[in-house]
């Protein structure tokens, strides 16, 4: 084997050879072989898209334009797919009088009315094109005072409202189920202020995550959260869903980073804790209730967050291993050897990369051969020499212990981004064959991949997996090893009730038996409302219901979801 020949002479990797190769301009193969991947600069649609402020990814557009999302008629309404869910008669149907009231203080650009059935599809339909509401009214206020007036009126008149950020959620939480008014944060998109000494950043809820991070980068700071959807998702949205993302291993969850929130309550009251204090031990920490509440007890309109200093040195390595047990061993090694510079540790199975390959816009696969599992490791810090030395030592040890069987290291920022795309584009590409059932779960690390294996086995035994016309392409697994978060994606040719019955409640029962969580970072939304009991006790569920009743006694905010 190539690896064996590299190590044979001294029973350990030739570190001098590694250092010499690291100085070259292209990806360095850990095994000193010709990789022929050079990643051409032309046809670099993914990287260009990543730099667009509003994240209108050309790659994503290319996938969608192939009509892979719907092989038949346009998706039906959620109400048709789930006939057991009935519109609650307590909610008033919007009429001309209501619209006239909104027009009395909102400009024409802040109101959109559905003149045809599909006029508001991009707001009625979720990112996965799985859930589709029937709202006829879209409101896009430009300031918190307008949000307050809207909510007071809706509360007084029992009009149901769905708050919506970038609409990149994966559990149907940001779109209507029936005819609820859509209250979009798109126009609340201003950066309010930034303290370059403390790193405290204040912004409107509708600021796009990538724009926030770009602003902070200009000032030497970094947003403590990164997502594949960063070009479209909103800061308020990631807080409302308590998104985890790719930097959680390094910077922790938003429960620790968010310092204050501005929230409009269901009755229109504005509650603001937009302060610049890292310590405030006066009473209950009320903001924590709104982080992860998914717009069910209040609408987040402003966010104050602590931004860390931006690292000046980054490294990314893409490694291959033979089994998931080895993924865990390499993770333990990474924590020991890389320690304070370890910022991400992601794993991807072979199927996830196979599904991604056809949609990478000409970007070659990093390795010559395929392997059962891949690991993406990112390190970051302030001293390049120190970081490089630690990474080299780590790679030397995992090679010497015969844990890693192949791999490459990025040599510049462009190559670094391209390696990241093999992880970040899985979500998009897994639905390109027609659709995807997504499960975002937490499990003990030793059990993380066993759910993927069990799901594939169950679907295969049910005769649902195979070439067309079988509905299931494959179940794939990838995720954040550092925090025990698995993304189980079941790629399908079309959404199918047989597949859904095979998956649910099986997936949730498996998670419950392993003492995991049915939602790690995507939230509960509409999809998981009926399965929360697999993660929460009856007493916990009752307490959540009591909080909802207290803050939203009329139940007008984001109904039919969460609890």
Summarize pLDDT for 332-380 with one digit per residue, the tens: 999 999 999 999 999 999 999 999 999 998 899 999 999 999 999 999 9
Same domain flag for 88 and 162: yes
> Do 419 and 402 lie in a common domain?
yes
Do 180 and 224 lie in one domain? The reply is no
Quick one: pLDDT at residue 37? 31
**Which region among 35-44, 398-407, 415-424 has the lowest average model confidence (pLDDT)?**
35-44
In the predicted structure, residue 426 carries a pLDDT above the cut 70: yes
Residue where a domain terminates, one of 278, 306, 334: 306
pLDDT, averaged across the chain: 88
Q: Of the given ranges (176-180, 244-248, 306-310), which has the lowest mean pLDDT?
A: 244-248
Q: Does residue 539 form part of some domain?
A: no
Res 396 pLDDT > 80: yes
Is the domain of 21 the same as that of 115?
no
Q: What is the CATH number of the domain that holds 524?
A: 3.30.70.2740
Asked if residue 545 is part of any domain, the answer here is: no
Residue 291 forms part of a structural domain: yes
Tell me the pLDDT band of 90, cut-offs 50, 70 and 90. Answer: very high
The pLDDT of residue 362: 83
Across 449-467, average pLDDT: 98
Q: In the chain, pLDDT over 70 holds for what percent of residues?
A: 87
In a shared domain, residues 222 and 318: no
Q: Do residue 324 and residue 401 come from a single domain?
A: yes
Q: What pLDDT shows up at residue 52?
A: 34
> Which residues are registered as beta bridge partners of 182?
138, 162
Residues 6+ apart with CB under 8 A from 61: none
Helix axis angle, 324-337 relative to 384-400, nearest 10°? Answer: 140
Please enumerate in sequence order all residues whose Cβ is within 8 A of that of 101, keeping only pairs 6 or more positions apart, or say none: 153
Of 184, 211, 236, the position where a domain reaches its end is: 184
Q: Is residue 2 part of a domain?
A: no
**Residue 453 belongs to a domain:** yes
Predicted local distance difference test score (pLDDT) of residue 153: 99
At 30 the pLDDT is 56
Residue 181: predicted pLDDT: 99
Same domain, 341 and 372: yes
What are the backbone angles phi and psi of residue 108, rounded to the nearest 5°? -55, -35
Q: Clarify whether residues 149 and 221 are in a common domain.
A: no
Alpha-carbon distances of 19 from 24, 30, 61, 464, rounded to whole Å:
9, 11, 40, 49
| Paired residues of 377 in beta bridges | 317, 345
Least confident of 153-157, 213-217, 227-231: 227-231
**244, 521 Cβ separation under 8 angstroms:** yes
Shared-domain flag, residues 284 and 345: no
For residue 48, give the CATH number of its domain: 3.30.465.10
Nearest to 455 by CA among 491, 502, 514: 502
Q: How high is the pLDDT of residue 74?
A: 54
β-strands 181-184, 137-139 pairing: parallel
Kindly state whether residue 515 falls inside one of the protein's structural domains: yes
Asked if the model's pLDDT at residue 71 lies above 50, the reply is no
Look at residues 42, 47, 67 and name the one whose alpha carbon lies nearest to residue 57: 47
Of 162, 184, 206, the residue that ends a domain is: 184
How many whole angstroms separate alpha carbon 69 and alpha carbon 187? 29
Residues 419, 362 share a domain: yes
Are 375 and 408 found together in one domain? yes
Give the domain range for residue 240.
42-64+188-306
- Residue 408: which CATH number? 3.30.70.2190
Give me the pLDDT at residue 28, please: 52
418 and 470 in one domain?
Answer: no
Across 38-52, 137-151, 251-265, 445-459, least confident range: 38-52
| Higher local confidence (pLDDT), 181 or 496 | 181
Q: How many CB atoms lie within 10 A of CB 248?
A: 22
CA 50, 477, 177: angle at the middle one, nearest 5?
Answer: 70
User: What's this model's pTM, rounded to 2 decimal places?
Assistant: 0.85
Q: Which residue in the block uniquely carries the two structure tokens 């079309």?
A: 494
- Residue 536 covered by a domain: no
Integer distance in angstroms from the first to the last C-alpha of the chain? 55
Q: How far is CA 504 from CA 127, 354, 518, in A?
A: 21, 26, 11
Q: Please list the residues that pair with 489 across neighbouring strands.
A: 438, 476
Q: Is residue 275 part of a domain?
A: yes
Rounded to the nearest angstrom, the gap between the alpha carbon of residue 272 and the centroid of all alpha carbons in its chain is 27
Q: What is the pLDDT of residues 523-562, one digit of tens each?
A: 999 999 999 999 999 999 999 999 999 999 999 999 999 9
CATH code, domain carrying 163 = 3.30.43.10
Whole-number pLDDT of residue 128 = 82
How many domains does the chain fold into?
4
């Amino acid at each position: 084997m190539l690896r064996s020949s590299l190590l044979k002479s001294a029973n350990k990797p030739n570190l001098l050879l590694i250092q010499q190769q690291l100085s070259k301009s292209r990806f360095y193969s850990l095994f000193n072989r010709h990789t022929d991947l050079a990643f051409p600069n032309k046809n670099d649609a993914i990287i260009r898209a990543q730099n667009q402020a509003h994240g209108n990814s050309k790659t994503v557009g290319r996938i969608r334009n192939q009509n892979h999302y719907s092989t038949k008629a346009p998706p039906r309404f959620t109400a048709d797919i789930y006939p057991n869910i009935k519109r609650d008669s307590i909610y008033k149907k919007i009429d001309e009088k209501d619209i006239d009231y909104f027009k009395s203080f909102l400009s024409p650009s802040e109101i959109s009315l559905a003149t045809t059935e599909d006029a508001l599809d991009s707001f009625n339909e979720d990112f996965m094109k799985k859930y589709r509401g029937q709202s006829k009214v879209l409101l896009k206020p430009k300031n918190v005072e307008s949000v307050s007036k809207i909510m007071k009126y809706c509360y007084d008149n029992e009009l149901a409202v769905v708050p919506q950020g970038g609409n990149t959620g994966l559990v149907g939480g940001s779109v209507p189920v029936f005819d609820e008014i859509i209250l979009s944060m798109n126009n609340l998109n201003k950066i309010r202020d930034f303290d370059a000494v403390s790193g405290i950043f204040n912004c409107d809820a509708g600021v796009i995550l990538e724009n926030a991070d770009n602003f902070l980068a200009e000032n030497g700071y970094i947003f403590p959260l990164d997502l594949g959807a960063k070009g479209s998702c909103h800061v308020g949205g990631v807080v409302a869903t308590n998104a985890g993302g790719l930097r959680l291993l390094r910077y922790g969850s938003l429960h620790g980073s968010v310092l204050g929130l501005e929230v409009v309550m269901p009755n229109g009251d504005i509650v603001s804790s937009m302060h610049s204090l890292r310590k405030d031990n006066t009473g209950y920490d009320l903001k924590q209730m709104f982080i992860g509440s998914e717009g069910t007890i209040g609408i987040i309109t402003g966010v104050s967050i602590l931004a860390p200093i931006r690292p000046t040195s980054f490294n990314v390595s893409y490694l291959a291993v033979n089994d998931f047990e080895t993924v865990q061993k390499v993770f333990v090694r990474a924590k020991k050897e890389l320690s304070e510079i370890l910022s991400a540790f992601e794993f991807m199975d072979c199927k996830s990369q196979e599904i991604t390959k056809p949609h990478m816009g000409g970007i070659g696969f990093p390795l010559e051969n395929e392997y059962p599992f891949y690991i993406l490791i990112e390190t970051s810090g302030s001293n390049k020499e120190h970081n490089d030395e630690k990474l080299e030592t780590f790679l030397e040890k995992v090679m010497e212990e015969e844990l890693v069987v192949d791999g490459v290291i990025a040599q510049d920022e462009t190559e670094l981004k391209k390696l990241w795309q093999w992880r970040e584009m899985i979500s998009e590409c897994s639905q390109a064959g027609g659709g995807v059932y997504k499960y975002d779960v937490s499990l003990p690390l030793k059990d993380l991949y066993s759910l993927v294996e069990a799901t594939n086995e169950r679907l295969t035994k049910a005769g649902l997996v195979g070439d067309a016309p079988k509905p299931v392409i494959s179940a794939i697994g990838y995720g954040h090893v550092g925090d025990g978060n698995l993304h189980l994606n079941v790629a399908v040719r079309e959404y199918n009730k047989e597949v859904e019955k095979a998956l649910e409640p099986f997936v949730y029962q498996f998670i419950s038996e392993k003492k995991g969580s049915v939602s790690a970072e995507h939230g509960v939304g509409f999809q998981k409302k009926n399965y929360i009991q697999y993660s929460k006790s009856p007493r916990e569920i009752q307490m959540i219901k009591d909080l909802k009743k207290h803050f939203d006694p009329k139940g007008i905010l984001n109904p039919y979801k969460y609890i």
